[in-house]
Amino acid sequence: MKIGILGCGRMGGKLGVLFAHAGHEVIFSYSRRQAKLDDLTHQAGARASTGTPAEAANGADAILLAVYWSQLEDVLRQAGDLSGKVVLTCCVPLDPSDTQLVIAHMQSGAEALARRIPQAKVVAAFQTVPSEAFFDVFAARGRPERPNVVYCSNDAEARAVAASLIGDVGFDPVDAGPLHVARYIEPFAMLTAQLAYAPGVNPKLTYRFERYG
């Protein structure tokens, strides 16, 4: 798959490197420092390159949107027309202090994004795992019981792409249903962040749901 990364910080940078290591072609974009994009490309290997957000989005089979909520408009404007594209969002709609959800309860950031780019196929994924865990999960991907990542979308193709990419980086994907379930996923992401970043603990936190009987 050809994957465009919009936002190359803790989430986009790490997931982009792992997507490339899993065999995908990756284009990194939307860092303020070209040297950072070049370093990620180096880490990712021969299947990776850098470009503008428009170059990353154009021709991509899937786009990972990994920016702070406050940068959403800017990155979408730079990316251009996303009609028909599968857009995975790991964004949590937080205020500038990074502590409060600015969209919640009756709505979600993923639904707001889908209204903003109505011709795109939006899927919410990866919000619920701290980026610190990604490389360890990838290294342990041969284990029979992998940690979960929940995802949700109204689009069948987007759901299939998300499940495949979640699996490629070492998680066991859990289809949580339609996009409005992001109303519960995004607060759950706040819980996992709360647990991951509690004082004095190791932030490499993952989760796994078990169904008995």
Ligand X SMILES: NC(=O)c1ccc[n+]([C@@H]2O[C@H](COP(=O)([O-])OP(=O)(O)OC[C@H]3O[C@@H](n4cnc5c(N)ncnc54)[C@H](OP(=O)(O)O)[C@@H]3O)[C@@H](O)[C@H]2O)c1
Chain-centroid distance of CA 133 in Å reads 13
Give me the least distance between CB of 212 and ligand X, in Å please: 28
From the list 64, 52, 55, 60, the residue with the least C-alpha distance to 18 is 64
77-96 footprint of ligand X as x/- string (CB under 6 A): -------------xxx-x--
Stretch that binds ligand X, among 9-17, 51-59, 152-160, 166-174 (CB under 6 A): 9-17
Q: Which is nearer to ligand X, 31 or 50 (CB)?
A: 31
5 near ligand X (CB under 6 A): no
Stretch that binds ligand X, among 7-15, 50-58, 76-84, 172-180 (CB under 6 A): 7-15
Report DSSP state, residue 165: H
Q: Does 147 bind ligand X (CB under 6 A)?
A: no
**Is the torsion defined by CA of 198, 141, 19, 80 positive or negative?**
negative
What is the distance between the alpha carbons of residues 91 and 71, in angstroms, rounded to a whole number? 10
Stretch that binds ligand X, among 26-34, 44-52, 172-180, 204-212 (CB under 6 A): 26-34
Candidates 4, 19, 26, 31; binder of ligand X (CB under 6 A) is 31
Provide the mask over 164-193, with x wherever binding to ligand X is found by CB under 6 A and - wherever it is not.
-------------------------x----
Total of residues contacting ligand X (CB under 6 A): 24
Of the residues 68, 135, 184, 188, which one makes contact with ligand X according to CB under 6 A: 68
Which residue in 50, 186, 24 sits closest to 110, CA to CA? 186
Q: Where are the beta strands (DSSP E) in the chain?
A: 2-6, 25-29, 48-50, 62-65, 86-89, 121-125, 148-153, 172-175
For 132-167, letters b (16+ CB in 10 Å) and e give: ebbbebbeeeeeeebbbbbbbbebeebbebbbebbe
Q: What is the contact surface with ligand X in residues (CB under 6 A)?
A: 7-12, 30-33, 36, 66-69, 71, 90-92, 94, 127, 130-131, 189
